[in-house]
Amino acid sequence: MSEYYWDQQMEYLRNTRWLYYNDDYLEFLVQRVWKIEEAVHMIDYGCGYGYMGLKLLPLLPAGSRYTGVDQGKELIKHAKELYAHTSYQAEFIEGDIETVQIERVYDIALSHAFLLHMSDPRKILKKMIGSVVDGGRVICFEPHWIANMASYTLDDVEQSNIVQLGILQKLYEHDARLSGKDGNIGMKIPTLLSQLGVKGVECRVSDRVNFLDQQMNEPNKHTLYNALKEEGLGAVPGNRIEVIDQLIGRGLTSDEANSQYEAEERFARGFNEHMYMTYAPNMKITSGIVTR
């Protein structure tokens, strides 16, 4: 079994990606925003099991092709098995994206929830730009965690009791300074792409708002609730002393760490399958044209 972390997260990836977008919105982006009218060859950085290819290929002009790159041996194996049952033209490259050599032959370079895990996202963006032909496009679907955290509503629960945005922002910024890995990268990519010479940069936000409705049928409600739990909503924070020590180590004061632990604990206690909840992931979708 692979020791690569994301090789162990297959079920999480498969069970939560659908929370982010409605298919008609992706179709709108392809046809009305990006105006892709001819077959394209796209490369997906950090492709996982090829999720974005499976979402976009049905929407792209006939003859479009997909290349996925990922370090995960099991993820690539699973992707090949999935695509073997389709008619799509697809290939996969197993390797470390920071070191693997990519030719400049692609019409589109894209990433999905990948750059936030990179210690030097600017370096990866340069690589993405370098793999695209003149006039090609870079597309990044990346998160903005603080907007995500502001987008829960639990029925009869005050948001400030379960989500403390100021403390969370402090944590995210500290972690980004320390490791370079930035959960708020989605909001920064427009600036980074423009600084790297990409033209016509624009940014959209994902459209899906998930509604845990007590009037929906039980199977659908159960599926949505489980997906939200896997996404981390209402997660039990763990041993109080250990978690608070970790939070202090991440830059919080003792009072802030205790307050954050208690907020997470209240969220975990309060969130269950029998309550109303709305949740919008707020993924940022940035695109621009490479001109040389």
d(CA 250, CA 242): 12
d(C-alpha 92, C-alpha 130), whole Å: 19
119 in a structural domain: yes
Q: How far is CA 212 from CA 32, 72, 150, 279, 291, in A?
A: 30, 33, 17, 8, 44
For residue 110, which of 71, 75, 68 has the smallest C-alpha distance?
Answer: 68
Over the stretch 112-144, which tens digit does the pLDDT of each residue have?
999 999 999 999 999 999 999 999 999 999 999
What is the rounded distance in angstroms from the CA atom of residue 119 to the CA atom of residue 178? 9
* Phi/psi of residue 198, nearest 5 degrees: -75, 140
Give the span between the Cα atoms of 182 and 10, in whole angstroms: 22
Q: What is the pTM of this model?
A: 0.95
Range of the domain at 18: 5-144+183-208+281-289
- 96 is a domain residue: yes
8 Å CB contact between 104 and 128: no
pLDDT at residue 120, as a whole number: 96
- Whether 243 is in a domain gets the answer no
Residue 64, domain CATH: 3.40.50.150
Instruction: Compute, in degrees rounded to 10, the torsion defined by CA atoms 30, 198, 149, 70.
Output: 70
SS3 290: coil
Instruction: Identify the helix (H) or strand (E) that includes residue 52.
Output: helix 51-56
Asked, for residue 270, whether it belongs to a domain, the answer is no
Neighbours of 178 (CB within 10 A): 12
Q: How many domains does the chain have?
A: 1
Considering the domain boundaries, does residue 156 fall inside one? no
pLDDT of residue 2: 60
Q: Return the pLDDT at 109.
A: 98
The predicted-structure confidence for 204-228, as pLDDT tens digits, reads as follows 999 999 999 999 999 999 999 999 9
Count CA within 13 A, CB hemisphere, residue 152: 26
Of 105, 135, 110, 144, nearest to 125 by C-alpha is: 110
Q: Give the neighbor-by-neighbor strand order of the sheet with 210-212.
A: 152-154, 277-279, 210-212
Tokens representing 15 are 């069970």
**Can you give the pLDDT at residue 57?**
98
The alpha carbon of 73 is separated from its chain's Cα centroid by a whole number of angstroms, namely 20
Q: Is residue 162 part of a domain?
A: no
For residue 90, being part of any structural domain is answered with: yes
Which pLDDT tens digits describe the chain residue by residue (292 residues)?
Answer: 467 898 899 888 889 999 999 999 999 999 999 999 999 999 999 999 999 999 999 999 999 999 999 999 999 999 999 999 999 999 999 999 999 999 999 999 999 999 999 999 999 999 999 999 999 999 999 999 999 999 999 999 999 999 999 999 999 999 999 999 999 999 999 999 999 999 999 999 999 999 999 999 999 999 999 999 999 999 999 999 999 999 999 999 999 999 999 999 999 999 999 999 999 999 999 999 999 9
Would 239 be classed as within a structural domain?
Answer: no
pLDDT value of position 126: 98
